[in-house]
Chain A
Amino acid sequence: MSFLPGFGRRQPSSAEKIANAEAEMDMIGEMMARLNQSCLKKCIQPDYHEGDLTKGESVCLDRCVGKFFEVQMKISEKMQGDAAMKQGM
């Protein structure tokens, strides 16, 4: 944890570390909220016949979360690839 002049990067200060952690938590929280909203909108019928989740809705939710993550992965890979290409150009 020592400060090495000329090597590596400066150790971030505690405020920075907290800010980073907060930003990460924000991001995860926001993703969770969006995920919740999208999947509930797509999978739950607004009839509300009963208060329990039906099997169809449960399976739909499971798959929705999986696909959401897959989409996110693919988009971030693509954007990273595009950014790398632009830098290389």
Chain B
Amino acid sequence: MADKPPVPVESVTKDVRPTPQPKPTGNPVFRMMGMPNFRFKLPSRNWLIFLSITGSFTTAILYDRYHRKRAQQRWCNLVSHIAHESLPPSQMPRRITIFLSAPPGDSIRAAREHFHEYVKPVLAAAAMDWDVIEGRREGDVRAGLAEKIRKRRRKDGEEPLTGEETKPSEETEDLVQEWRVKAGVQDWEGVQGDLVLGRHTWKEYVRGLHEGWLGPLDPPLETAEPSAAKNEASPLTAEQQSSAGDDGSPTSDTLPTSDLLNATAGSAKPPPDIAETSTPTDHASPLTAEQQLSAGDDGSPISEMLQTSDSPTATADSAEPPIEPAQAEAQKVEKPKTPVQIPPYTSTSAYSSAPLAPTTPMVLPPTTILPLPHLLGFLNTPIRIYRFLNRRHLADETGREVAALVLASYIRPWDSRSEGTGDLPFPGDQNSTGDQRSEDGASQERWKPEGVLEGEERDWHKVAWKRYQGEPERVWRNSIVIEPRIRERMRRFDLPGAEEDQARKDDGRDPAAKGLWASVKQTMGWEEDGAVKGWEHGSVGAESE
């Protein structure tokens, strides 16, 4: 540094600018502390792009996960008081039936995982027991439910019209039930309920419900031949019945197999309202003609009607029957593995003329229908990503419906909106029913059983809509038909407003879960011993206490 020339005192007023010294680099604070000089600078443009994309995606996922967990926990907390109620040892807990069906175009794993993730936590928090009717193919749930209803009808004392003796059932579940009755173990009294996942399952459920209560007790036409329409179907011996999935039906051994029951390998008779083209009926009718030859008339009015409707087409193909048995035999030998689905005992057009079963209860078990969003396809990937990042809303909605089922505090008929009150009206719900009246027609449809979850049909894979020759009745493709006599007996669960508010006010923390610090303390062994060491504390536990 150059020496500055001495400035004489008298020239202090002169404007002398000293030579500017180069400023020391860096923050003087860092310099004084002896720390290296940090320069905060942004990363490069490319890094910024990368980090912003990944960061935003990660944040979206974590945000959604956090709120999904809290939403689920809210509903679990709402129902958890039920798990603390007492139960006598000789009484069974409340048991609901869950209907799970593979979405069109996918396997049942998708439905099961949805169930495990969204439905099971709330059910487990309320200590509910359940058994599952699973459906791997279209129509399995319908067949399973119809068979279950028929079994119940038989147990309640209805006699099948054929007059054949009902042999005592050999199934494990029935034997255990008989033993329970003998031992004095009571079943749960009170409403039980059904839970249906997805619109496709709901359609099958409604169809099975009608078939069970409006249909005959015995199959329309008895036959031992496999269906020619199904290439891989063949009669199944009792040993080959495969047990369905291990999906959370904890105390039920064999009920999941109820949809793959005994091999009454009936034909695939398309009901008259579906047979628009003659080709499906042509394939099925040779078999019906053959059945008419082989089986006697069982006297049921339904089956008579079906026979008469099929007979015009049957007579045209009478040359074909002799070929069918040989073909059927060959198929029987080839593939005895696929279980046969029990075909419908009645058709939708026969509903209005069918007699209602005498043992039908005044109120059928109430149901809750949960959305099962399922979308496939490469071009649908953006929509699927959007849904993946918004699972919290689905969790909230599902949790609400399951809580409604579990609490069972408001059970209302389906068309109760117009009257304003249901079976057990709850004051908090009056306002909501009043609002619904003013909505437009589209949303009003959603309150009818036909219109539940209608939007899901747009997501279905094209497999649900495709027609192929010789197909059996397509439950998914057809619209829902509900008979008024069954409709007035159907009920649904609903959640009263007060309880919903209570749930929403909850902060969604799990009371049993320890926080991070508490779990660290436990791991490291730092926590104080909670048990009182009596000899150390002198003041606890007086003798006269």
A binding-site residues for B, Cβ under 8 Å = 50, 52-56, 58-59, 62-63, 66-67
Contact = CB atoms under 8 A, between A and B. Distances in A.
Contacts of A62: 93, 129, 250-251
A58 B251 contact: no
Contacts of A52: 86-88
| 5 interchain residue pairs of minimum CB distance | A52-B86, A56-B83, A55-B127, A56-B127, A63-B250
B82 interface: yes
Tell me which of A52, A56, A62 has the highest count of chain B C-beta atoms within 10 A of its own C-beta: A56
A55 B129 CA distance: 10
30 contacts: A50-B86, A52-B86, A52-B88, A53-B86, A53-B87, A53-B88, A54-B83, A54-B85, A54-B86, A55-B82, A55-B83, A55-B84, A55-B86, A55-B87, A55-B93, A55-B127, A56-B83, A56-B84, A56-B127, A58-B87, A58-B89, A59-B93, A59-B128, A59-B250, A62-B93, A62-B250, A63-B250, A63-B251, A66-B250, A66-B253
Interface of B: 82-89, 93, 127-129, 250-251, 253
B528 to A, nearest CB: 19
Contacts of A58: 87, 89, 93, 127
Nearest to A58: B87
A88 B84 CA distance: 54
A29 to B, nearest CB: 19
Contacts, number: 44
A50 B88 CA distance: 13
Given A53-B88, A58-B93, 9 more contacts: A52-B88, A53-B86, A55-B82, A56-B84, A58-B127, A59-B128, A59-B129, A62-B93, A63-B250
Contacts of B128: 59
Contacts of A67: 250
A58 B127 CA distance: 8
A54 B87 contact: yes
Contacts of A56: 83-84, 127
Contacts of A53: 86-89
Given A52-B86, A56-B83, A56-B84, A66 B251 contact: yes
A62 B94 CA distance: 13
B211 to A, nearest CB: 31
Nearest to A62: B251
Nearest to A49: B84
A4 B332 CA distance: 45
A55 B84 CA distance: 6
Contacts of B86: 50, 52-55
A59 B128 CA distance: 7
A54 B251 contact: no
A54 B89 contact: no
Contacts of A50: 86
Nearest to B95: A59
Tell me which of A53, A58, A67 has the highest count of chain B C-beta atoms within 10 A of its own C-beta: A58
Contacts of A63: 250-251
A62 B86 CA distance: 15
A54 B128 CA distance: 12
A53 B85 CA distance: 8
A24 to B, nearest CB: 20
Nearest to B91: A58
A68 to B, nearest CB: 12
A59 B85 CA distance: 12
Contacts of B82: 55
Nearest to B89: A53
Tell me which of A53, A55, A66, A67 has the highest count of chain B C-beta atoms within 10 A of its own C-beta: A55
A55 B127 CA distance: 6
Nearest to B253: A66
A54 B250 contact: no
A58 B83 CA distance: 9
A21 to B, nearest CB: 23
A1 B250 CA distance: 44
Nearest to A67: B250
A73 B88 CA distance: 29
A50 B129 CA distance: 22
A53 B93 CA distance: 12
Contacts of B89: 53, 58
A6 to B, nearest CB: 35
A50 B432 CA distance: 40
A52 B86 CA distance: 6
Nearest to A64: B250
A55 B95 CA distance: 12
Nearest to B86: A52
B381 to A, nearest CB: 39
A52 B93 CA distance: 14
A1 B85 CA distance: 57
Contacts of B88: 52-53
A65 B528 CA distance: 36
A52 B89 CA distance: 9
A56 B86 CA distance: 9
A55 B80 CA distance: 11
Nearest to A61: B89
B512 to A, nearest CB: 11
Contacts of B251: 62-63, 66
B82 to A, nearest CB: 6
A58 B89 CA distance: 7
A42 to B, nearest CB: 14
A55 B128 CA distance: 8
Nearest to B251: A62
B199 to A, nearest CB: 30
A72 to B, nearest CB: 14
B481 to A, nearest CB: 38
